[in-house]
Amino acid sequence: MVRKRTGRDTIAAISTPLGEGGIGIVRLSGPQSLAIAERIFQARDGIKPSQSPTHSLHYGHITQNGEIIDEVLLTVMRAPRTYTREDIVEINCHGGIVPLRKVLDLTLKEGACLAEPGEFTKRAFLNGRIDLAQAEAVVDVIRAKTSLSLKTAMSQLRGNFSRKVEDLRTLVVNFIAKVEANLDFPDEDVVKHTHTQPKAMPKAAKGNATPLQHRPKAGVESLNWQEMREELSEVVDSLNKLIATAKNGKVLREGIRVAISGKPNVGKSSLFNALLGENRTIVTATAGTTRDTIEETINIKGIPLNLVDTAGLREAQGEIGRQSVARSRRSMGEADLVLLVLDGSGALSREDRTIMEEVKDRAAILVINKMDLPRGIDISEVKEALPGKRIVRISATRKSGLPMLKRAIVDMFWQGKVLSPETALVTNARHKNALLRAKESLQNCRSSLQSQVPLEFIALDLRAALNSLGEIVGETATEDILNQIFSQFCIGK
């Protein structure tokens, strides 16, 4: 029975995938972790978890009413040197579903609450061990599809991206400090405009008084509007450079969806198998062998490629044929890149030209297949129909031309860049949107300085930029944002 959640509960969950395996882990975190472990664990050496030093491992049994449930190794980790900065106990059980469930049920019976998705990582964030961007990187580490994706996610987890954002926040805070130091203090403050005076400025008071609405306050740094505009431009440039990394970040995090398309019997499935390096799909000389889409993921130079082998595009016969063609067209529409396969041993057909027209405005590479056979296609016709598109000649059955095709795919997205895993990258849409909002606020601020509007409005734009940047690292994130982020995690992490 799962107890109702109240206050700072101790949480428990199975932290390893369910199913048969060598080891399965039940994890507890919270103030009662050691006490709960003590009630269900009997150490072989007689030492109780509450008496154990931090980061120690103990052999024994999990028992219930004197009955041994499982033979385990129990790890004690005391706050604050833990993942959540709370007391943590990890029970290493045998990896079957029954012992894991029984041990978890025992922890719940003894007072723990079943953890929500991502609650362990959420506590690590709330307790200040990591910021929000680092917490999101945990998911990227778990879901990394290539070595480069993993290295990039680990860089984010170590805080490389967060430090870049914090540097920008510091600059914005400095701007706010300058502006607010020059805001209205009754009969004391002043804004001193070095180059130009505000347009709507009251007349000077008596004598040599400064022609502004305030008097100077001793120790307040004067505000140079031109200088501040230039400094803001530098920050906006830094934001632009960071935002520009979002495309590569998305590729590393989510991969590229690549649809292999073309009319029947041009060698789409042969190319699919050749890129995978295994015979994943059935290949025959009969046109229309592939009737449904088949998907697999491969790694090309660190980029995860989600390959989709599609049914041949043609005038469909029958309900199954119509559904196959509809799915193929849907896959083309959803793809980041289309590999349009043409039969190099024959002339362009009406079907070829129809499909070429469909990819005219899409990211596409033209793959001329069957180049091991006598050439029948007129390459000049292909170039004329789709000018500017990359053309690669291959033989899928002999696996010739594949390195050139892989290079062409990488170039479509990497554009010759060599990315260091330590590079600060924008890897998800939330970060990109927050950066764009911060940029917009700073651009508004820069325009306001140009027009010399009241400083109160400039301060509002600066604070909006600061809030947007703060959302990334969690300084100003709302509960709704936190719930949305951590709901994407698995239970146990």
Q: Which CATH superfamily is domain 257-414 in?
A: P-loop containing nucleotide triphosphate hydrolases (3.40.50.300)
**Is it the case that residue 261 has pLDDT exceeding 90?**
no
pLDDT, mean of residues 158-171 = 94
The first and second tokens of residue 130, run together, are: 């990591």
Average pLDDT over residues 341-364: 87
What average pLDDT does this structure show over 231-252?
A: 90
Higher pLDDT, 414 or 394: 394
Confidence class for position 228, pLDDT limits 50, 70, 90: confident
**Topology annotation, domain 11-115:** Gyrase A; domain 2 (3.30.1360)
The beta strands (E) that lie in 335-421 are given as 337-343, 364-369, 390-393
Q: Is 450 helix (H, G, I), strand (E, B) or coil?
A: helix
What does the DSSP 8-state code read for residue 290? Answer: -
Average pLDDT of the residues in 196-209: 35
Confidence band for 311, pLDDT divided at 50, 70 and 90: low
Average pLDDT, integer, range 74-103: 95
Boundaries of every domain in the chain: 11-115, 162-245+427-486, 257-414
Q: What is the average pLDDT value for the chain, to the nearest integer?
A: 83
Q: What is the structure's pLDDT at 113?
A: 95
Q: What is the pTM of this model?
A: 0.76
Residue-level pLDDT at 300: 85
Arithmetic mean of pLDDT, 146-160: 89
Straight-line distance from the first to the last Cα atom of the chain, in angstroms, rounded to the nearest whole number: 22
CATH code assigned to 162-245+427-486: 1.20.120.430
The tally of CA atoms less than 13 A away on the side-chain side of residue 483 is 3
Task: Please report which confidence band the pLDDT of residue 118 belongs to, taking 50, 70 and 90 as the band edges.
Answer: very high
State residue 313's pLDDT score: 58
> What percent of the chain clears pLDDT 90, i.e. is strictly above it?
43
Residue 221 is predicted with a pLDDT of 55
Give me the mean pLDDT over the 303-316 stretch.
71
pLDDT band at residue 315, thresholds of 50, 70 and 90?
A: low
The amino acid that residue 1 corresponds to is M
Q: Quick one: average pLDDT of 66-73?
A: 94
The band of 25, judged by pLDDT with boundaries at 50, 70 and 90, is: very high
Residue 296: C-alpha distances to residues 249, 280, 327, 366 (Å): 21, 9, 16, 21
Label the pairing between strands 337-343 and 364-369. parallel
Tally the C-alpha atoms within 13 A of residue 180's C-alpha that lie toward its C-beta. 11
Least confident of 99-103, 311-315, 372-376: 311-315
Determine how many CB atoms are found less than 10 A away from the CB of residue 469: 26
Task: Evaluate whether 308 touches 260 at the Cβ level (below 8 Å).
Answer: yes
Under 8 Å between Cβ of 63 and 42? yes
pLDDT of residue 295: 81
pLDDT tops 60 at residue 212:
no
pLDDT at 39: 96
